Amino acid sequence: MSTHSIAVIAGDGIGKEVVPAAITCLERIAGIHGLNLAFTYFDWGSDYYGRNGRMMPADGLDQLARHDAIFLGAVGSPEVPDTESLWGLLIPIRREFQQYINLRPVRTLDGVTSPLASDKPIDILIVRENNEGEYSEVGGRMYRGLPHETAVQETIFTRLGVSRAAHFAASLAASRQGRLTSATKSNGIIHTMPFWDEVIEETARQYPGVTVTHELVDALAAHLVLKPWTLDVIVASNLLGDILSDLGSAVTGSIGVAPSANLNPEGDFPSLFEPVHGSAPDIAGKGLANPVGQIWSGAMMLEHLGHPDAAAHLQSAFESALRDGHSTRDVGGTSSTSEFTAAVLTAIDAHAPVTA
């Protein structure tokens, strides 16, 4: 039996609802496919902050490092400043564990209605650089409260950082339609962007069959809304990829369905799997949260752990629950989080391979 130790951080808000939902599905899948998923639960997040003045213990990263993967819900609470909650948990995990790729699929699903007039299928992979760029630690606020109060944050791109994101994205494009779109803003305004373009260009050139288009991000945002079906793989910096991935999920129907994998491709550290959405304080605790993004992130985790059959089984189960008309309110349905999860469990059993 294949055993994997998985650190689970449900975190805040709807993380506490969608993570248990996805774990139930993962446990059912594990039972069918003979996997031993050993979950260790960490109660870190904003409530922990309220009790301890920090988002996780001082040795939190050491505790996580001992696991094969991390499964996270969301962080962020109206009670705790976002600077504390994000720099105290999510961002250090992404950085210390060199999760430099944030892979965010954007795909239409049967049963989830896109707000676009067209019903052409959309299948895009966004590769978001996840360790540097606009999310740098260089900068700060000065002269608080004074008329000349100033806020500064440097954007940092390194050749290593940009080229490894480019390699990952170009090799994905090579395995798909060969079309790589790089989100840029190099029309003379943002000084770091010509460097981004050059490194993307010279890296992608090493992949025969891959063509790179540099699209200004404002035009690319419009492209994502007007003709998303013409896009294949998008590579983007940290901030631009963050924005484009929320837009992409909205274009396919709801942010509630979007998954993500924060990957350390070398496997030196655990990778982290979480939905694209946040803690959604406006609907937290009401049973309204769509668990699809979290469940799909679980399927990406199974794939990453080397179990493509189990991943495909979980994927087909939630897709068939949606196709059969089960869905939460954000995508026009009436199911609660637990009712939708029950429909996925039924579909898991119905789709179980006879020999698994």
Which amino acids are annotated catalytic? 143, 185, 218, 242, 246
| 290 near ligand NAD, judged by CB under 6 A | yes
CB of 88 to ligand IPM, least distance (A): 11
Among 242, 303, 319, 330, binds ligand IPM (CB under 6 A): 242
Crossing angle for the helix pair 308-323 and 337-350, nearest 10 degrees?
A: 120
Whether 232 contacts 180, CB under 8 Å: yes
Instruction: Write out the binding residues for Mn ion, residues 241-260 only, by CB under 5 A.
Output: 242
What SS3 string covers 312-325?
HHHHHHHHHHHHCC
The one-letter amino acid at 261: A
Among 106, 293, 304, 305, binds ligand NAD (CB under 6 A): 293
279 binds, among ligand IPM, ligand NAD, Mn ion, none (CB under 5 to 8 A by kind): ligand NAD
CB of 278 to ligand IPM, least distance (A): 6
Rounded distance between C-alpha atoms, residue 356 and residue 344, angstroms: 18
| 289 near ligand NAD, judged by CB under 6 A | yes
| 20 near ligand NAD, judged by CB under 6 A | no
Q: How far is CA 348 from CA 27, 50, 67, 202, 335, in A?
A: 11, 38, 26, 44, 18
Rounded distance between C-alpha atoms, residue 58 and residue 71, angstroms: 20
Which is nearest to 300 in space by CA: 142, 71, 27?
71
CB of 78 to ligand NAD, least distance (A): 8
Whether 35 contacts 2, CB under 8 Å: yes
Determine which helix (DSSP H) or strand (DSSP E) holds 82, and give its type and residue range: helix 82-85
Residue 141 pairs in a beta bridge with 151
| 65 near ligand IPM, judged by CB under 6 A | no
| 278 near ligand NAD, judged by CB under 6 A | yes
Whether 129 contacts 160, CB under 8 Å: no
| 262 near ligand NAD, judged by CB under 6 A | no
314 binds, among Mn ion, ligand NAD, ligand IPM, none (CB under 5 to 8 A by kind): none
Instruction: Report the 10 Å Cβ neighbour count for 304.
Output: 21
| 247 near ligand IPM, judged by CB under 6 A | no
Rounded distance between C-alpha atoms, residue 53 and residue 322, angstroms: 41
CB nearer to Mn ion: pick between 171 and 237: 237
Residues in contact with Mn ion by CB under 5 A are 242
Residues in contact with ligand NAD by CB under 6 A are 14, 18, 74-76, 82, 90, 255-256, 274, 277-283, 289-290, 293, 330
Residues in contact with ligand IPM by CB under 6 A are 86, 90, 242, 276, 278
